């Protein structure tokens, strides 16, 4: 049985006063498996079953749960299923002492290979910490790290509030640590800009609470875009948006589907990025190729929304003038808006992301599209779908974030588009073939970000230097050196490069 909470509270200080054998001697590549075994053995003694498992149905479910098939192929030495921050402290302290490899999994939706799972190491998975609550007195949303956005929005809808969260229901709270783009971002900033308070377990196992004004304010800022590199967040307290319940149809929008007119859509998107700065307006433009036999079938999805009674023609007119195959535009509640793209939880496929960022320039958008099409044609035998998506990041979003204290991304003033390059591979492919990886690398070179613009961490290739694109990159490095001076995180877990 797992140790009672009161016993864990007593154990944590004692654990900090001890040193494991592995911590006293340099580790080598040969000791990776032994270090993980040491950590797992220690954790089995401290936490017991079912909180720590090395085999069995719960272990297998956790080990194979990842959305990206590449990550479901990993076999952790053991899996920790915490239900409290104390459990995470104990787990991280044992991992640190043993010098074990480790990973943390929240929503499991990462497309980056190795970022949410581990081979020969300890996996901490938050499948038992999935609550979403609202405190009307404090006007705060509190999320546990294992919650998915669909579940969070559903739980909070009766209170008439919503978090600034993901656009796909299966995505988890890792979105917040990567900055986070939301249907609410034009008026609220990046999702991370809504942080009020964070409980964070550092690599040593120490638990701290970070806010914008306390002694951990630098850590608080770094977690607004720093991903998994600065600690394990076990509680998110967020500022809510008062969006109303599902009965409040205060929005207008939906889906528009096209099977042609790519250039017209690209021109409309570029103009939107360049000219629109209305915090009530938001849009996602996804150009998708569906592979059917030897053919690429275009499926272009545009999802425009406006927090008002209609789509203003001066904002969305260019899109509305293009003939659509189908359209679901109409009055909506924010609950409907949040569910527009569905769960996106189909598993069993290799998924791959890449990122760029472009100013609103028609030539840049068309050039990116042409290179993406060439890539899609060249490697179509490997894919179910390829996607080139544009998320406008208006100046209103950037300024809203700055008004709330700023984030470590610190993008320049003015609007731009976050560009997502995405492939879903065919069933039976378990890793990215070498020739396709070479094509991906060429494509990234052909669609570079416009100078000075940040890449979006949550939709990047694992090798892209996202942190280096941040406006506060030098500050980010300083904060990391302060909270992880031994560089344990970057040496014992996978995640964004550049620290």
151 and 271, same domain (yes or no): no
**491 found inside a domain:** no
pLDDT at 31: 84
The per-residue pLDDT for 5 is 28
CATH code for the domain of 240: 3.30.465.10
Task: Tell me: do 211 and 114 sit in the same domain.
Answer: no
* Residue 309 and residue 371 in one domain: yes
C-alpha 251/C-alpha 78 separation (Å) is 46
CB-based contact 304:252 (threshold 8 Å):
no
Given 125, 152, 187, the domain boundary residue is 125
Q: Are residues 259 and 190 in the same domain?
A: no
* pLDDT number for residue 200: 98
Question: How many helices (H) does the chain have, and how many strands (E)?
Answer: 18, 18
> Exposure string (b/e) for 5-18, b if CB count within 10 Å is 16 or more?
eeebeebbeebeee
Tokens 């302060």 belong to which residue? 482
| Whether 228 and 278 share a structural domain | no
Whether residue 412 is found in the same domain as residue 272: yes
Query: Is residue 490 in a domain?
Result: no
**What is this structure's pTM?**
0.93
Same domain (yes/no): 367, 226: no
477 and 464 in one domain?
A: no
The answer to the question of residue 496 being in a domain is no
Question: Is the same domain home to 117 and 151?
Answer: no
Each of the 499 residues of the chain gets a pLDDT tens digit; together they read: 333 223 333 333 333 333 443 343 344 466 899 999 999 999 999 999 999 999 999 999 999 999 999 999 999 999 999 999 999 999 999 999 999 999 999 999 999 999 999 999 999 999 999 999 999 999 999 999 999 999 999 999 999 999 999 999 999 999 999 999 999 999 999 999 999 999 999 999 999 999 999 999 999 999 999 999 999 999 999 999 999 999 999 999 999 999 999 999 999 999 999 999 999 999 999 999 999 999 999 999 999 999 999 999 999 999 999 999 999 999 999 999 999 999 999 999 999 999 999 999 999 999 999 999 999 999 999 999 999 999 999 999 999 999 999 999 999 999 999 999 999 999 999 999 999 999 999 999 999 999 999 999 999 999 999 999 999 999 999 999 999 999 999 999 999 999 9
154 found inside a domain: yes
CATH code of the domain covering residue 26? 3.30.43.10
Residues 478 and 463 in one domain: no
Q: Per the domain annotation, does 443 fall within a domain?
A: yes
Each residue of 410-428: pLDDT tens digit?
Answer: 999 999 999 999 999 999 9
Assigned domain for 489 exists: no
> How deeply is 481 buried, as exposed, middle or buried, from its count of CB atoms within 10 A (0-12, 13-18, 19+)?
exposed
Closest CA to 259 of 324, 308, 166: 324
What's the number of domains the chain is made of? 3
pLDDT of residue 13: 38
Strands annotated E in 150-280? 195-201, 207-210, 232-238, 251-253, 256-258
* Closest CA relative to residue 336, chosen from 397, 238, 258, 248: 248
Cα of first residue to Cα of last residue in the chain, in angstroms, is 39
310 is in which domain, residue-wise? 251-469
């Amino acid at each position: 049985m797992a140790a009672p909470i009161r016993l864990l509270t007593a154990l944590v200080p004692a654990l900090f006063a001890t040193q494991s054998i592995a911590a006293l001697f340099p580790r080598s590549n040969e000791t990776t498996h032994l270090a993980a075994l040491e950590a797992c053995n220690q954790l089995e003694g401290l936490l017991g079953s079912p909180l720590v498992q090395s085999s069995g149905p719960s272990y297998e479910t956790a080990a194979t749960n990842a959305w990206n098939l590449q990550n479901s192929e990993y076999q952790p030495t053991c899996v920790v299923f915490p239900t409290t921050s104390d459990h995470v402290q104990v787990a991280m302290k044992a991992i640190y002492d043993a010098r074990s490899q480790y990973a943390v999994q929240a929503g499991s939706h990462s497309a980056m290979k190795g970022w949410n799972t581990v081979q020969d190491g300890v996996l901490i998975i938050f499948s038992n910490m999935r609550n979403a609550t609202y405190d009307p007195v404090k006007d705060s949303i509190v999320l546990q790290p294992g919650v998915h956005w669909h579940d969070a929005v559903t739980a909070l809808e009766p209170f008439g509030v919503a978090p600034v969260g993901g656009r796909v229901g299966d995505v988890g709270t890792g979105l917040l640590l990567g900055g986070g783009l939301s249907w609410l971002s034009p008026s609220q900033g990046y999702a991370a800009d809504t942080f009020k308070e964070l409980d964070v377990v550092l690599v040593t196992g120490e638990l701290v609470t970070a806010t914008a004004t306390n002694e951990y304010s630098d850590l608080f800022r770094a977690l607004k875009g720093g991903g998994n590199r600065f600690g394990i967040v076990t509680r998110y307290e967020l500022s809510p948006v008062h969006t109303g319940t599902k009965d409040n149809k205060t929005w207008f929008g939906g889906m528009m589907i096209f099977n042609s007119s790519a250039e017209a859509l690209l021109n409309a998107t570029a103009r939107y990025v360049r000219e629109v700065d209305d915090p009530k307006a938001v849009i996602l433009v996804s150009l998708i190729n569906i592979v059917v036999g030897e053919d690429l079938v275009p499926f272009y999805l545009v999802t425009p929304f406006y927090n008002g009674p209609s789509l203003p023609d001066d904002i969305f007119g260019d899109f509305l003038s293009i003939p659509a195959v189908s359209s679901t535009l109409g009055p909506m509640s924010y609950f409907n808006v949040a569910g527009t793209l569905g769960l996106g939880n189909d598993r069993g496929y290799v998924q791959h992301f890449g990122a760029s960022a472009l100013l609103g320039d028609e030539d840049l958008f068309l050039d990116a599209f042409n290179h993406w099409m060439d890539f899609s044609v060249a490697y179509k035998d490997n894919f179910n779908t390829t996607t080139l998506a544009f998320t406008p990041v208006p100046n209103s979003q950037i300024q809203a974030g700055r008004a709330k204290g700023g984030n470590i991304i610190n993008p320049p003033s003015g609007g731009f588009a976050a560009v997502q390059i995405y492939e879903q591979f065919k069933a039976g492919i378990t890793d990215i073939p070498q020739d396709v990886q070479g094509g991906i690398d060429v494509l990234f070179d052909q669609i570079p970000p416009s100078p000075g613009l940040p890449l979006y961490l949550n939709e990047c290739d694992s090798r892209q230097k996202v942190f280096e694109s941040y406006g506060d990159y030098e500050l980010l490095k300083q904060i990391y050196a302060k909270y992880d001076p031994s560089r344990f995180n970057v040496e014992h877990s996978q995640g964004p490069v550049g620290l």
